[in-house]
Amino acid sequence: MSLRRTTYDAGVLLGALRVPYNITNIIKNITTQFIIEQFGVVISVITPGDYGVVSEKVSTLLKDYRQIFITEKDDLSEKRYEIVWELMRSGYMKWLRLSYKSQFPILIDTDNLGNRIIDERLRIWANKSKYMYFIKDNIEAKKVGFRQVLSQDPSFFDYMP
């Protein structure tokens, strides 16, 4: 896939996630950045060989932003979860839940996102004792299903550790 096509697809993905973003080219003809100011995330579409120079430039210009890199070789259907996890660490799911109340349960159900969120949390917590309450809570939520979880605790999916 070409860099131009990957850039287009990344924009479509962000549109589907309803994320407000700006587009810029920190280094002309080499990279495109999708800057999501509200959540402090920058997504750079690059060729793999340009990673070092782009990463350095982005780190300098957009300090403290979470950085995600997408290349034309990446599978965007999998990369989107990395994007969602980083957005979640910045409050995206709470914003989405409050901004799109009626559509939020549909999003959680799409591609089994609710279970993917729980699985990612469990992977991060790695069965460590200091997270045991959260681990048990998430395992129980997985058993009862996301609709019941949302009816009892609408903010359950708001965060990603």
Q: Are 117 and 158 in contact (CB under 8 A)?
A: no
pTM, two decimals, is 0.90
Q: What is the pLDDT of residue 133?
A: 97
**C-alpha distance across the termini of the chain, in Å:** 33
Report phi then psi at 42, rounded to 5. -125, 130
Percent of the chain with pLDDT over 90: 82
pLDDT digits (tens, 9 = 90+) for 102-117: 889 988 888 889 999 9
Higher pLDDT, 28 or 140: 140
Count of alpha carbons within 13 angstroms of residue 147, beta-carbon side = 3
Q: Which residues contact 28 (CB under 8 A, 6 or more apart)?
A: none
Distance CA 139, CA 128 (A): 14
Return mean pLDDT, the chain.
94
pLDDT digits (tens, 9 = 90+) for 52-87: 999 999 999 999 999 999 999 999 999 999 999 999
Q: Mean per-residue pLDDT for 123-152?
A: 94
Instruction: Let me know if 34 is exposed, middle or buried by CB neighbors in 10 A (0-12, 13-18, 19+).
Output: buried
Tell me if residue 145 falls in helix, strand or coil.
coil
- Whether residue 1 has pLDDT greater than 80: no
pLDDT digits (tens, 9 = 90+) for 24-46: 999 888 899 999 999 999 999 99
